A and B are shown apart, each in its own frame.
Chain A
């Protein structure tokens, strides 16, 4: 028994045209026609699509459907719901949580899917072949028609005749189709932001050129998030915008000796200004995202005060966003960005020895030096060392992390990943230690002002106390984590990867 075959028509096709193409003894009957609206949803990165899934909404029925390898139940759809946590708990929101995390799912394309099951019948009016036409019409998508043609047992000859007739209607056989293929063939454009983790570096490339090229790429990447910030789609746009600018800035400062002092100064200042515009907004976002976490730390009687605090923060966030949006749309901003690109694109000055060093050699040297610095600084930290030293160590670790991540393509990504894993243990510990202190500082700022109610103050103080205890606990783990990261085994690994032979370094 042959199974169904699938066909794509290069031009739209109607049942009447199919009947015309069939031999006289066969006719084509429309069984029923149905159509439904379809909204394709995904986040900015197309995370759902990239994972092989498809999130669609049926606006008439008000249902949200996630197609993945296994079947999961649909949930009610409302355009206001854009995050997994706004959906009823269950399999669908669990999967979206995994795929999207903090990203919002938004409409990517709207179309109508028209389904027309047809019967090819003989002179006895017996169905001899079944044809299912699927047509996709979309505002931004050109119309396209697909057909599933199923033979009926015992009617092989009629099936062959039907296929021959359809081949006259400029159709091509395709392997199979599902909604994803249909959408792609219908012209759905999958356009995730450019976030390649490779810079296509040449190990021998002179450092100054390589650094400028990389820093520029990061600024280009950052700018892809501007529109999402303006539309306030989700908090990840501001976050990724800042991450890319911060990386660009760190790169410049890590390799400052490769640049002329004028260029260095200008880049440092302008990148700092660019990043600092979103500082307030990001701080408020972080606090708001942690609402559940904060609330869990407080007893019931302090929740009222906390609600007041969050209402206030939400208001402040609205203001902060307005400011950021205005600044991004400002001519001055555009001029700043243009100037930055100019600075990146200027011909290298080749003023220092480092500017001409092959990038691989320079990075290897820097990584080893940075690791040594962490070992040395870590060595003097014990339980009594002041917090400043711990914070400084965190910053040094972050620099090492950037060096490893940004240049892993020059040293074997797999090996470098292993080192990053070692580093991550220490970084997570230091990161949490720092987070608690930032959170406490943020909260203490909230407690200042004439209009602060007693309830709010009580909640803020309660929270500060809990955070302080957590920070103490985190501090108690630091020494052990430093020891782990500076252990002989890890040192050897750094040496093996970054101590280049003379041949390599020449």
Chain B
């Protein structure tokens, strides 16, 4: 079982859209996939039409034992793809982590028990650099970082790199890729070129700026369901294939 996190310090960079579409393609490629929506806003749960559990404090339970995670699993409409929906209590992960002990491998422990049922866990992460983030970095084999090719995003990516260095996490876990890339904008083109030059490990495939990504909210489904032939869909598929080769490599 591999764990893939979709993570960025910055919000609104296409984390959830990426988590949802990549989870969809992974499942379609035959991986038994679980999408764990750790963002209390629950956007990826929304796209898959699954609802938050009603139980209180389930965030705490999630971090305690995988049995609790399994109880919250909802089967999506797509073969091989299950979802653990987000919960409002996920806002307080950091407080919870303080309560139950400051260990950085809580999440990793909770996910271990899922390996019998799943080949791939995708974490849709909240935009925060905190104790939860550290749990996520510990639990993940790959941390996917969506980056909009703008100056601001470049800065946040650098912050993340710095954090990884300070905390002594392996840089190799990080796999950045461009999202919302708009080829018509000079800034996007220049930033992308510069960043690719500096960080050779950027993924080759990028996700273009597209209204089809935005339409996911309207259709409440992965792009392949409502815009099969469109560029955004093809880009996500190509991105998935590139990630798959890294997972297996």
Q: Which residues of A contact B (CB under 8 A)?
A: 119, 124-127, 152-155
Q: Which chain A residues border B50 with CB–CB below 8 Å?
A: 126, 154
Q: State whether B72 touches A126 (Cβ < 8 A).
A: no
Contacts A125-B220, A153-B75 aside, 10 further interface pairs with beta carbons under 8 A come to: A119-B77, A124-B51, A124-B220, A125-B49, A126-B49, A126-B50, A153-B74, A154-B82, A155-B74, A155-B75
Q: Does B238 contact A (CB under 8 A)?
A: no
Interface SS of B by simple majority? loop
Separation of A152 and B220 alpha carbons in the complex (Å): 18
Q: Which residues of B contact A (CB under 8 A)?
A: 48-51, 72-75, 77, 82, 220
Question: How many whole Å from B162's CB to the nearest CB in chain A?
Answer: 40
Q: Which chain B residues border A127 with CB–CB below 8 Å?
A: 77
Q: Which chain A residues border B74 with CB–CB below 8 Å?
A: 152-155
Q: Which 7 A-B pairs have the closest CB atoms?
A: A154-B74, A126-B49, A153-B75, A152-B75, A124-B49, A127-B77, A153-B73
Counting chain B CB atoms within 10 Å of each CB, which of A152, A153, A154 scores highest?
A: A154
Interface SS of A by simple majority? loop
Q: State whether B72 touches A154 (Cβ < 8 A).
A: yes
Instruction: Select from chain A the residue with minimum beta-carbon distance to B85.
Output: A154
Q: Which chain B residues border A155 with CB–CB below 8 Å?
A: 74-75
Counting chain B CB atoms within 10 Å of each CB, which of A119, A125, A126, A152 scores highest?
A: A126
Instruction: Select from chain B the residue with minimum beta-carbon distance to A150.
Output: B75
Separation of A374 and B139 alpha carbons in the complex (Å): 86
Separation of A127 and B72 alpha carbons in the complex (Å): 17
Separation of A154 and B54 alpha carbons in the complex (Å): 13
Question: How many whole Å from A153's CB to the nearest CB in chain B?
Answer: 4
Q: Which chain B residues border A125 with CB–CB below 8 Å?
A: 49, 220
Counting chain A CB atoms within 10 Å of each CB, which of B49, B50, B73, B82 scores highest?
A: B49
Instruction: Select from chain A the residue with minimum beta-carbon distance to B46.
Output: A124
Q: Which chain A residues border B49 with CB–CB below 8 Å?
A: 124-126
Q: State whether A153 touches B82 (Cβ < 8 A).
A: yes
Instruction: Select from chain A the residue with minimum beta-carbon distance to B51.
Output: A124
Q: Which chain A residues border B72 with CB–CB below 8 Å?
A: 154
Separation of A126 and B51 alpha carbons in the complex (Å): 10
Separation of A228 and B153 alpha carbons in the complex (Å): 83
Q: Which chain B residues border A119 with CB–CB below 8 Å?
A: 77
Separation of A154 and B76 alpha carbons in the complex (Å): 9
Question: How many whole Å from B58's CB to the nearest CB in chain A?
Answer: 13
Q: State whether B77 touches A154 (Cβ < 8 A).
A: no
